[in-house]
């Protein structure tokens, strides 16, 4: 155990020695050090969140052929700080008729539901909050708290636009939870564990899950985007109909908490895509397996890459109507996810003892064929619907002639 492989253990032992020399009992010192660790991790994540405000605005600007923030600091990188000052200085308004406790609790729960997630992200072989044996279910449970915060915000604002926005968002989140859980079952099945660290370590020996289940990764990414309520699933907002959705009545730093939570949520799901399907902390730089600093870099780097993918989708795809969104989930994603789960289970049990290359190539091929069949089915279905839609008009034209 040295500085490069396990800096946390080193810091723990150092602090333990320090506190013991002050005459603190070992139990109490361990509690204090763990609390310090929690505060440290949350602070680090929140500092990263400040940077994300700049990243988001700069990337959007590039997608929309603008310059983006470029006045404060080099490349506008200090822009979040004026933003924060503005948020803090704004008048904090609680609307008349609002339910005060629920109104003030909602933004805290919203950001909290994202921060909870960082407890189970394995940043390195030795740096992780806790190695839960139900890690993936914990991910879904934190999402449940997020859903709760949205319905609380929408209801307590005493504003019908906020309530309609919350209804839409909650319908969205509850629906897309199902394909997400099924998508999470695939890495669980392949690794034989629900522990996120276990899945991460498993990929170290057996290759990236992306090659075993590219469609599973895609399914997780789609349902994650829906869970985030980002475009094309951003029905919670709509300038022309319900304005800003469930957080319309929030001003100042309370709005800031929702905003920070949304950005951090997107980045966190990006990190989960990286950890669950792209080799955890030992990919793309293989030294991550032994060097804790490289490992943290790997996780954050992949988080940024997939955060970028989520932004790419957000600023490219227009939003869809709510009935289309629900139909897409219940009539397409849910059946597809269950079929994919069954297909993956069958071929996993058939191929897993055939050695590394036959197994990996076989699983990849199965996914390719599955995806191709799916596209063919969609194409023939689309053609049939188009013909049906065009048929009456051609009949009418024929009658006219």
Partner 1 sequence: MGAQILFFLCAALILISAIMVVTVRNLIHAALWLIATLFGAALLYASLDASFIAVVQVVVYIGAIAIMFIFAVMLTRRELLIKTDQTNANWPLALGLSAVMLVALGYVIGGFGVTLNTTPAAIPAGVDPLTLLGKALLAPEAYVLPFEVASVLLLAAMVGAVYVAMNKK
Of 84, 134, 189, 334, the one binding partner 1 by CB under 8 A? 134
Beta bridge partners of 9: none
- The minimum distance between CB 300 and partner 1, in angstroms, equals 26
Of 174, 189, 351, 374, the one binding partner 1 by CB under 8 A? 174
**Does 155 engage in binding with partner 1 (CB under 8 A)?**
yes
**Does 190 engage in binding with partner 1 (CB under 8 A)?**
no
**Does 98 engage in binding with partner 1 (CB under 8 A)?**
no
- The minimum distance between CB 250 and partner 1, in angstroms, equals 18
Of the two residues 59 and 134, which places its CB atom closer to partner 1 in the complex? Answer: 134
Of the two residues 50 and 105, which places its CB atom closer to partner 1 in the complex? Answer: 105
Report yes or no: 200 and 124 within 8 Å, Cβ to Cβ: no
Choices 59-67, 138-146, 241-249, 308-316 (CB under 8 A): range interacting with partner 1: 138-146
**Does 184 engage in binding with partner 1 (CB under 8 A)?**
no
Of 42, 59, 137, 305, the one binding partner 1 by CB under 8 A? 137
Of 80, 107, 122, 143, the one binding partner 1 by CB under 8 A? 143
Report yes or no: 168 and 109 within 8 Å, Cβ to Cβ: no
Instruction: Estimate to the nearest angstrom the gap between the alpha carbon of 96 and the chain centroid.
Output: 34
With b meaning 16 or more CB within 10 Å and e meaning fewer, what string describes 259-275? bbbbbbbbbbbbbbbbb
**Does 144 engage in binding with partner 1 (CB under 8 A)?**
yes
- Helices 160-191 and 196-206 cross at an angle (nearest 10°) of 40
The two three-digit tokens of residue 341, written as one number: 């789960």
**Does 249 engage in binding with partner 1 (CB under 8 A)?**
no
By CB under 8 A, the count of residues binding partner 1 is 23
Of the two residues 6 and 99, which places its CB atom closer to partner 1 in the complex? Answer: 99
Of 41, 54, 122, 147, the one binding partner 1 by CB under 8 A? 147
Of the two residues 121 and 152, which places its CB atom closer to partner 1 in the complex? Answer: 152
Cα distance between residue 302 and residue 205, in whole Å: 19
**Does 51 engage in binding with partner 1 (CB under 8 A)?**
no
Gyration radius of the chain over CA positions: 24
- The pair phi, psi for residue 121, each rounded to 5°, is -80, 120
Cα distance between residue 280 and residue 204, in whole Å: 8
How many other C-beta atoms lie within 10 A of the C-beta of residue 247?
Answer: 26
Cα distance between residue 148 and residue 283, in whole Å: 35
Beta bridge partners of 243: 238
- The pair phi, psi for residue 238, each rounded to 5°, is 180, 100
Of 170, 235, 282, 304, the one binding partner 1 by CB under 8 A? 170
Residues that bind partner 1 (CB under 8 A): 99, 102, 132-134, 137-138, 140-141, 143-145, 147-148, 151-152, 155, 163, 167, 170, 174, 177, 194
């Amino acid at each position: 155990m040295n500085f490069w492989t396990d800096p946390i253990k080193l810091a723990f032992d150092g602090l333990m020695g320090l506190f013991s020399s002050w005459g603190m009992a070992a139990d109490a010192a361990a509690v204090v050090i763990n609390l310090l660790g929690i505060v440290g991790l949350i602070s680090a994540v929140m500092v990263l969140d400040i940077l994300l405000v700049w990243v988001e605005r700069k990337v959007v600007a590039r997608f929309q052929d603008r310059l983006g923030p470029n006045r404060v600091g080099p490349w506008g990188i200090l822009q979040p700080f004026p933003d924060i000052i503005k948020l803090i200085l704004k008048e904090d308004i609680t609307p008349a008729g609002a339910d005060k406790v629920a109104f003030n609790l909602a933004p805290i729960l919203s950001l909290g539901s994202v921060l909870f997630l960082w407890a189970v992200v394995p940043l390195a072989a030795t740096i992780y909050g806790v190695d839960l044996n139900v890690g993936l279910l914990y991910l879904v449970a934190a999402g449940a708290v997020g859903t709760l915060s949205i319905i609380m915000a929408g209801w307590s604002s005493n504003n019908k636009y906020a309530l309609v926005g919350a209804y839409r968002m909650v319908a969205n989140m509850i629906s897309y939870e199902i394909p997400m859980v099924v998508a999470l079952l695939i890495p669980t099945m392949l690794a034989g564990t629900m522990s996120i660290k276990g899945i991460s370590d498993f990929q170290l020996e057996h290759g990236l899950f992306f090659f075993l289940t590219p469609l599973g990764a895609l399914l997780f990414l789609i349902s994650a985007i829906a869970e985030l309520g980002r475009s094309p699933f951003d029905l919670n907002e709509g300038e022309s109909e319900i304005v800003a959705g469930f957080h319309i009545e929030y001003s100042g730093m309370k709005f800031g908490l929702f905003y920070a939570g949304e950005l951090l949520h997107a980045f966190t799901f990006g990190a989960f895509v990286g950890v669950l399907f792209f080799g955890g902390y030992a990919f793309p730089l293989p030294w991550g397996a032994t060097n804790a600093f490289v490992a943290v870099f790997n996780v954050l780097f992949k988080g940024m890459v997939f955060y970028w993918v989520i932004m790419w989708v957000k600023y490219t795809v227009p939003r869809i109507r709510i009935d289309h969104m629900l139909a897409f989930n219940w009539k397409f994603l849910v059946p597809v996810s269950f079929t994919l789960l069954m297909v993956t289970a069958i071929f996993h049990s058939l191929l897993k003892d055939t050695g590394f290359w036959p197994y990996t190539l076989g699983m990849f091929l199965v996914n390719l064929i599955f995806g191709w069949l799916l596209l063919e089915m969609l194409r023939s279905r689309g053609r049939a619907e188009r013909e049906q839609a065009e048929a009456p008009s051609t009949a009418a034209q024929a009658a006219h002639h």
